[in-house]
Structure 1
Amino acid sequence: MRFALALSAVFAIGTLSAGGLSYLFLSREMTARLSADVRSSAESLAQIAATGDRTDLREQILAQVRSSRDGASLYAFVDVGSGQVLGSLHVTDPFEGARRLLVGQDIPESDVTGTESAEAYLAYGIRTELGWVIAARDEAWVAESGEILIQTTASSLVLAALLSMGLAVIIARKNERRIDRMDQVLDEVGEGRIDRRIADSGNDDLAALAARVDRMLERLEAGVASIRQVSTDVAHDLRAPLARLRMRLEPQALSSDVPTETRHEIGSALMDIDAISATFDAILRLARLQSGTVERHNDSIDLSVLASSVHEILQASAEEKGHTLYLDLPTILIEVQGDEDMLSQALTNLVANAIEHCPPPAQVRIRAGLRDARPFLEVSDNGPGIPEADRARVLERFVRLDASRSVPGTGLGLSLVAAIAALHRAELVLEDNAPGLRVSMVFQPLAPEATVLTKA
């Protein structure tokens, strides 16, 4: 619509400019033509006066007066001897050359009773041996012609504005649909569907831009496919040797023929192998999530059921660490669209982090509910928390704060949670729980037509 208004404004300015110039040129041309006609009439009378025949001059002036009863033309003869004025124009101060006479000031209003629109006359006077001959014509028809031109210009302006607005709206709507198509494709690519293309069939700048974006997406898809293949190859090549190494070391750790100290070292090596495998699996999962190569289901998920499932799985682990794991559920049914396995993994990571990093005894709480019409999952604890300056940094890969160095981990747990939240267009919020930390995944607002049911 901004484009439509701008185009209409350009048409309006062009029409006004053309109308203004036309009015200016037409007014000048009509005034010049009126001056020429008045002078010609005065010169005709002057030629008669040049013959010295007063009777012929009087008859000619009276004939001109009779033929112009509408007051559009006025004529006068001022006798040089007596000063007597003859004709329809009564002037007391005869003049020579061109002059503009105003009604009521230079011309008595009684001289123009035949016309109501005359306000001024363009006159021309010539002195002869018999006296002055003066011809005058009103300027009303010049003003009327100007008004007609103004009305024509206004009508043209309205028509041009309507046509330009209609044309601009059609073009704007068409381009808006094309831009919406680009936005939709880019949003879908951002959600992991990198096989999507704009495929604009136009031949303008938007089409050229869409073609460049499509070529970029093709290169991106090829790059992601290469990364996916490399990840698969690396997973296959490294997991198998690690698994074989573990299978070879595990019997030695359990054998009574191996010295106790050696078995202890072998057991430590097995723990390191398990940690390496876990880190490697976490890196692969995070890479797939952030590159959009993982398939994401889009099911209706009951947040209460999801939170209850994670609570049931991790309650025993929390008790072993000396913690208490609480569960707060809403009294209403709250559903979000997403991948249940991914959200379960994210919530599990948050609870596991709280269990591992809080000194016992700690209170860890899982909550689900609505916040400003937005569904949320939340994990809070009363442990040491995370300083505000470090809350954004802990979401990066392999970042572990100094206080967590003594706790086993890869530094990828919160990164995985952030990646899962981004895939579900949810906001991951880290806040102070005073004391402790509160981490929330806040989802998009519920659709206006969505209904919230009270649980029985």
Structure 2
Amino acid sequence: MTFPRFLKQYAALVIDWLKTRRASFVWRFTLLYTALLITLIAVVFFVLYQLSIGEISRSYQQQIQLITQQQRLFNEQMSEEEYLAQFSDQTQQINNIILAYQNAETTYGHLTSIPNNLLACPAQTAFLVDSISELRFYIGCIEPLANGRLLIAFDDENLYFLRVQFLRAGVLALLLTLALGILSGRYLSTQLLGRIKGINDTAKVIQSGDLAARIHISHRNDEFDLLASYINRMLNQLEDSFHAVSGVTDSIAHDLRTTLGRLRLRLESHLHSINDTPINEEQLQEMLEDLDHILTTFSAMLELSRLEDKQARSQFRHVDLNQVAEDVIDLIQPLAQEKQQTLSLIITPQSFIQGDKTLIFRAMFNTLENACKYTDIGGTIEFITTPTGFIVKDNGPGIADEFKDKVLQRLFRLESSRTSPGYGLGFPLIKAIAQFHKGKLELQDNQPGLQVHVTLCAHRP
């Protein structure tokens, strides 16, 4: 394999590696960060160079220009002998500048001869001087005078050494910066991409059907842990919603199967005996009641969905809770009298809110109906209006703490056999109406019995 071919293959490998890394946000961020850092270091070194070596070079340039003007003036105003005398004094006093004067006879100053290939001032030329111990580089120019030539130069060896050292330090700093960027990218890739990979792996597990999978949260409590906690809470809510939907589906299937099965048996029985025994009005009424049960269940489910999704079209108005409560008492009173229950209304003065009067009436009626339904014969029920809602208290069997959250789910019934009348939508509908009014529903113990606290608005209007 030839060397150029090896370089091409190596360059191709590097390009492929960069393309692979380019797909990663961490490496793109690292490259940008490293490029900005290298640019900053380069700018800093450029400024330092101008303030140090560049300043020394400019100082030499200014000295050369000043001495050139001075020697030209002396040469014009003095005789040759006087000029040579002052020139000898000048060369003895100046150490950092090389001075040499050459006339037709000889060369005076720091050099024994003046090179012939130097440019006239202010242009400058680098030239080599062979001293006794070493060769040294100088930078200078020739100033033509009346009787000769004047060489003015400075030693470039020290400046050259400083430049080399400065460039070496700059290159080393840039290489260290590049290495730091690569190491930072490697660290970020290991840490950040590892955390992101953990989130992706958990998402794949959940996608495969394991809804119980959760993202690991470390002890660092950093931004990734905060994100993981939010995602885990969202997954908990989704899992609860999935189980709730599954429970609702099972409940609907059970209710519909029972009702439709009973309705089918009746229709099949009447179909076989229609010639002998025609269907009477009472039998038709029973079948209509079964159909009404199904339709009522679906209507309640649709109404609950609209309320939970904030899709119910309602215009809030000024509602007197006391007036609505009195209307509800008048409607529910026959049911309470049938069970010989004591139903009392306690009114709070000035109970006015902004809301939907029909929905508020529905929430009050459902709450009282549940209380009358589950309170024993001869029980006591209190209906209390508050400035922001209402409270219903009874001395019935109550609800155990482990079921207080479950009864707020759709179609959940404390009776597993599901033989008693009802749809399991009473409390969910009340809760949806309360949330629709920016309020809430709370179930508390009445010892014995149950307290239902319904808040319809957070603040009074």
If the TM-score is normalised by the length of the shorter chain, which range does it land in?
A: 0.3 to 0.5
Greater relative contact order, per chain length (Cα 8 Å cut-off, separation 6+):
1
Taking structure 1 as the reference length, the TM-score comes to 0.42
Taking structure 2 as the reference length, the TM-score comes to 0.42
